Amino acid sequence: MHQSTKIDNAISDFTRAVLPKFMQRLGSAILFTVTTQKPRTHGPAIDDLFAVTRKTPEPIRDGVVLLPAFADSGALLRRIERLIRVSPLRRMFTPGGRLMQVEMSNCGAFGWISEPSGYRYRRRDPLTGKPWPAMPGAFRALARRAAESAGFSGFDPDVCLLNRYTPGTGLSPHRDLDEADRCWPIVSVSLGLSATFMLYGNQRGGTPQLIALHDGDVLVFGGPARLAYHGVKKLAAGHHPLTGACRYNLTFRRAR
């Protein structure tokens, strides 16, 4: 037989007899791998918002706990994008008429707003006239688990205030006072650019304790620290791969 015919025959034998068996085995191997993979316990694949690389909780002071890298920021940000298409971020005026630096929106049964008559929780977004977008179940679960990890069980937030900071923007010292029952903690999630949180005592003034907050960190404060004065230093310029030149904060509260 001619040499090239022999090679042709060998190739066609291989294609007919060996290759299908090989492909069949490969298919079974892939199927085996897929079907025997355990479901992921973290990350957006099963619709939770917990980071895979959570670190040990850090007690800051009585009633204040930092949960470093607790939240899956990528998954949270995708939901935030959807929420602010419904109720856009906006800058509000303080009751005294000053334009706030931080851009805000809300999701949940209530939203926190500033009106000429004072700070209020409202069921409807004054910008759209419609109810605030519902709080995603995964947001609620994240806030509940964060509170629990900090020693506050049973937290069921009905408000999630969305804050967006750009470089040069900060939040002056204040207390979160507009909630009906202060037995519930505040759960505060940081996303994107890092910021410096200023934690004071329960009286105005003094020297703050400075807490560095990075992407995915969650700060919980309640109990004896529930009415502590707190604020955020002006954001330094920077770039974060997920948020660009800004920081988002989600503040979960129980309003009613």
Ligand X SMILES: O=C(O)CCC(=O)C(=O)O
The partner in contact with residue 232, picked from ligand X, Mn ion, none with C-beta cut-offs of 5 to 8 angstroms by kind, is ligand X
Query: Interface mask (CB under 6 A) for ligand X, residues 206-245, using x and -?
Result: ------------------------x-x-------------
Looking at residues 163 to 182 of the shown chain, list those that interact with Mn ion (rule: CB under 5 A): 176
Report the residue number, 72 or 176, with the smaller CB distance to Mn ion.
176
Q: Helices (DSSP H) in the chain: which residue ranges? A: 3-13, 19-36, 73-86, 137-149
CB-nearer residue toward ligand X: 44 or 158? 158
Q: Which is nearer to ligand X, 110 or 197 (CB)?
A: 197
Quick check: 73 binds ligand X (CB under 6 A)?
A: no
d(CA 61, CA 23): 61
- Kindly determine how many residues on this chain lie close enough to bind ligand X according to the rule CB under 6 A: 10
Residue 187: beta bridge partners? 220, 252
Which 3 state secondary structure label does DSSP give 190?
A: strand
Q: Does 72 bind Mn ion (CB under 5 A)?
A: no
Q: Structure tokens of 215?
A: 């992407």
Paired tokens of 147 = 């509170």
What is the pattern of x (binds ligand X, CB under 6 A) and - over residues 131-170?
------------------------------x-x-------
What single string gives the DSSP state of each residue in 150-177?
A: TT-TT---SEEEEEEE-TT--EEEE---
Tally of helices (H runs) and strands (E runs) in the chain = 4, 13
Residue 114 near ligand X by CB under 6 A: no
